[in-house]
Amino acid sequence: MAKRRLLLLLALFLAFSSAKSQSFIGVNYGQVADNLPPPSETVSLLQSTTVSKFRLYGADPAVIQSLAGTNISLVLGVSNSDIASLASDPVAASNWVAANVLPYAPASSISVVSVGNEALNSGDSSLASNLLPAMQNLRSALSASAAASGVKVSTVHTMAVLSQSDPPSSGAFHPDIAADLTGILGFLRDTGSPFMINPYPFFAYRSDPRPETLAFCLFQPNSGRLDAGSKLTYTNMFDAQVDAVRSALDALGFPEVEIVVAETGWPYQGDPDEVGASVDNAKAFNGNLVAHLRSLVGTPLMPGRSVDTYIFALYDEDLKPGPASERSFGLYRADQTMNYDAGLAKSTSSSSPITAPASTSTDAGPPPAGVTGLTQPAGWCEPGATLQGSADGRPTQAGAQCYIPNAVRSRTALGACRLFLYVTLALLLT
């Protein structure tokens, strides 16, 4: 009887810990649409999920106010068009904070102000030179108020800031932005603010649309890719992209600057020539990403903890220009029904890999020139595991041993607690 009670308590704890909001899972809120529901309905939707972070591309007052008292943390955005004025005039920065932060803090939990979006790769050299002064002026304006002094200031980058990302251990920033970026990174380090980046395995797959690349991008079982520099093996593209950024930051002398994934996602439909854009693939990517984050495995270079990650996006944006995929990244439709189930609802929880039908990539054509196929080793790793002693895109050595980093050296008490409970549960069941 005592054993059965203990089993019940363990099961209830594990179910609760999977259903509650998780501090590392966020979602983006794009507003290039004419059919979005009222902010109050969006808040109700968020509260039915495990999402705990919400990123805006602007500072919509109705949205910010609607999140008061919810404990959902907010990232506010400053438009690229405002960077020059904020850089040249501290008063403009103070006015921005007075209008967009002070009326709502601390009731609304504003965690970060993102200055501009992908400004360093915008093609406008004035944005790059004005970015750091704008960030500094906003930080000074925030620090002047007790209610806002804890708000961090950062900016969001595309993966194009890297000149090298494969293998991950060779990650490096483009030399032509190094001067601007070094100043920004120094600011982030000194203020304890994150480096925000937009890795998209979807775009990596589009450039190499082979079945084995699709499995690698969707967190599905695959042979792994060996990084000859680090002797680590990667089993998914997300970890490889994040660790390439980690390597670039370390190489430039900023190992203490934390990474936040400001955007990642997968479209559920696209134009006929947009390979990989499908409901099955979107569900597999986002569902397996959520499971990967919940596992607290981390990445091969950063084991035992999950990087804060904002999925793009909460809703479809029907007015976005460009290919059909641009209007098809939403987890939910405007009527708040799911486009597919990514496992974010508090009533659902799954750690099993989601598999997309093999037919989604059979028409991808021959591999690009110079790309060789991966070889399946004697055994394969589940997504979230890595192979010891092995990632530069080559297959892992046959016989290499899988291991789960957080089972070896978790940096997170919750991860260790869950591991202990799972082991205890297994022992009780034997």
**E strands, 124-240, in order:** 152-158, 162-164, 172-173, 195-198, 225-227, 232-234
- Residues with a catalytic annotation lie at 118, 263
Which residues, in sequence order, are bridge partners of residue 103? none
With a CB cutoff of 8 Å and minimum separation 6, the contacts of 46 are: 27, 54, 70, 72, 314
- The owner of tokens 């501090």 is 23
With a CB cutoff of 8 Å and minimum separation 6, the contacts of 367 are: 208, 210, 373
Please state the rounded mean pLDDT for residues 366-384.
33
- pLDDT for 354: 80
- The owner of tokens 């102000």 is 113
Digit-coded pLDDT (tens) for 255-311? 999 999 999 999 999 999 999 999 999 999 999 999 999 999 999 999 999 999 999
The DSSP secondary-structure symbol of 320 reads -
| Phi, psi of 260, deg, nearest 5 | -125, 130
- pLDDT for 22: 66
DSSP string for residues in 285-318? HHHHHHHHHHHT-B-SSSBTSPPPEEES-SB--T
- pLDDT for 350: 55
- pLDDT for 212: 95
Average pLDDT, the chain: 83
Digit-coded pLDDT (tens) for 109-166? 999 999 999 999 998 989 999 999 999 999 999 999 999 999 999 999 999 999 999 9
Residue type, 309: T
- pLDDT for 2: 54
Please tell me the distance from the alpha carbon of residue 141 to that of residue 228, in angstroms, as a whole number. 46
- pLDDT above 90 (res 378): no
Q: What is the pTM of this model?
A: 0.82
Please tell me the distance from the alpha carbon of residue 323 to that of residue 376, in angstroms, as a whole number. 35
Digit-coded pLDDT (tens) for 57-114? 999 999 999 999 999 999 999 999 999 999 999 999 999 999 999 999 999 999 999 9
Candidates 71, 251, 102, 94; CA nearest to 162 is 251
Contact 425, 4 (CB under 8 A): no
